[in-house]
Structure 1
Amino acid sequence: MPRFYFDFLDDGGTSVDETGAEFPSREAAKREALETLGVIARDLGHRHLQGHVAIHVRDDGDPPFLEVAVTLEVKPVSK
């Protein structure tokens, strides 16, 4: 089964996944990245008023074949 690596990027820098995880396909790895980013986005909303986080997904090739990202911005709206 193919091994995929999920590198985490945020305003503080990059955390490179050295271990990876096995998934049957790129599509399955994409679903995992989306689910993981959803959890991260919920946490970001509880702790910060703004921020940008992303997950770069790569397999044995380099560079990453997919980026999943979310940007949270909270600002007042004037009437």
Structure 2
Amino acid sequence: MTRYYFDLLDEDGLFIDEEGLEFSDLRAVQAEAAKSLADMAREAVHGSPGLSRRHMMVDVRDKVGPVMQIRFNFEVERMKQ
């Protein structure tokens, strides 16, 4: 099993994962990164009801270096106030 680190980046800053999690394949790593990104998006929407735009990213790395990057962008355009 390989240890992977999931660094989180959004407008609030960069949060470095210093513990990591162990996975046996990249499919499981990708699923965990997507879950982390979904959690970030949910927290951003609930924490900032007036939020209209947000960019978020999860950088995944192992002990050698970068493995994958997953990004999520969303924008709310209100037609009525």
TM exceeding 0.5: yes
Give the aligned length.
77
More strand by share: 2
Query: Which residue identity does 1:8 align to in structure 2?
Result: L
Give the aligned CA root-mean-square deviation in angstroms.
1.6
Deviations 1:46-70 (A, max 9, x none): 22312111110011221x2211121
Task: Flag structure 1 segments of 5+ consecutive residues without an equivalent.
Answer: none
Moved over 4 A (4+): none
Normalising to structure 1: TM-score of the pair?
0.83
Gaps of 5+ in 2: none
TM-score, normalisation: structure 2: 0.81
| Partner SS, residue 65 of structure 1 | strand
Identity among equivalent pairs (%): 36
